[in-house]
């Protein structure tokens, strides 16, 4: 592990799903801005370690921990791992920022959506963030921040995303309640709602399907499809001290999609 300038004032961010996509991008943005990082992965251990190496090369501390956000039965053990990592790597008891980012996409019409698909998306996108945040609360520092990830699909409606968007709508409501209930601890809670982004999410359709990419571009005010840097930069910015007075807000980062 490289030598770092970490000290008791260095923010520590925990990012779920930080081994790839928007989670990885957010982790790298935060590291560039001086944060240390705990990132989680479900199956991509090698990818996660590559992100850790990139962060360490910036002179920051980072660790990668396995986590299935769709399985709440594992949250107690995960919280214990986080506590252990904080003690061993940082000699601290708390981290500062939680980004509930991990997720998957399932495209299916309302008529064809199965109960199994519904349960999978609910467990990963709604139940998971709800109870994971609950388990991690004792480890989040007073005055910390939580950012939940929603989607532009919670505002506009595109066929095939009824279940996914329903869960994201739930996350947006949960965000307001968390902001209210955690306010006495000085913890700010906001939700970032990306528009269509060129990543491997949902099989990489927005990135790889030229017709879909062109359609998204045509309905976006700024005239292009979103990039991971657009989202990682926004989340990182929201976690900076200058934005300490923002809480309970839904911030859409979509380039003006479907205005």
Q: Given 6, 19, 151, 236, which residue is catalytic?
A: 151
Whether 151 is catalytic? yes
**Structure tokens that stand for 257 in this block:** 């999609």
Measured distance CA(184)–CA(169) in Å, rounded: 25
Whether 177 is catalytic? no
**Structure tokens that stand for 249 in this block:** 């807000």
Q: Given 6, 19, 150, 236, which residue is catalytic?
A: 150
Measured distance CA(62)–CA(39) in Å, rounded: 8
Measured distance CA(257)–CA(247) in Å, rounded: 23
Measured distance CA(161)–CA(145) in Å, rounded: 29
Q: Given 127, 168, 236, 254, which residue is catalytic?
A: 168
Measured distance CA(109)–CA(125) in Å, rounded: 18
Query: 51-82: b or e for each residue (b if 16 or more CB lie within 10 Å)?
Result: bbeebbeeebbbbbbebbbbebebbeebbebb
Q: Is 142:97 a contact under the CB 8 Å cutoff?
A: no
Q: Given 6, 24, 164, 236, which residue is catalytic?
A: 164
Whether 35 is catalytic? no
Question: What positions carry a catalytic annotation?
Answer: 150-151, 164, 168
């Amino acid at each position: 592990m490289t030598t770092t300038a970490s000290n008791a004032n260095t923010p520590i961010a925990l990012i779920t799903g930080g081994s790839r996509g928007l989670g990885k991008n957010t982790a790298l943005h935060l590291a560039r801005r001086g944060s240390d990082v705990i990132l989680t992965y479900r199956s991509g251990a090698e990818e996660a370690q590559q992100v850790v190496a990139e962060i360490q090369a910036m002179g920051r501390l980072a660790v990668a921990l396995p986590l299935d956000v769709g399985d709440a039965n594992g949250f107690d053990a995960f919280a214990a791992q986080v506590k252990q990592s904080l003690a061993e790597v940082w000699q601290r008891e708390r981290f500062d920022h939680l980004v509930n980012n991990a997720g998957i996409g399932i495209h299916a019409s309302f008529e064809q959506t199965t109960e199994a698909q519904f349960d999978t998306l609910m467990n990963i996108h709604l139940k998971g963030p709800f109870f994971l945040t609950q388990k991690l609360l004792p480890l989040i520092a007073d005055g910390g921040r939580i950012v939940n990830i929603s989607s532009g699909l919670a505002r506009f409606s595109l066929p095939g995303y009824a279940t996914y968007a329903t869960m994201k709508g739930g996350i947006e409501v949960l965000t307001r309640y968390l902001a209210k209930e955690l306010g006495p601890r000085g913890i700010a809670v906001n939700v970032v709602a990306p528009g269509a982004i060129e990543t491997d999410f949902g099989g990489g359709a927005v990135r790889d399907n030229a017709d879909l990419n062109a359609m998204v571009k045509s309905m976006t005010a700024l005239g292009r499809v979103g990039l991971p840097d657009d989202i990682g930069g926004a989340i990182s910015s929201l976690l900076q001290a200058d934005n300490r007075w923002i809480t309970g807000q839904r911030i859409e980062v979509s380039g003006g999609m479907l205005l």
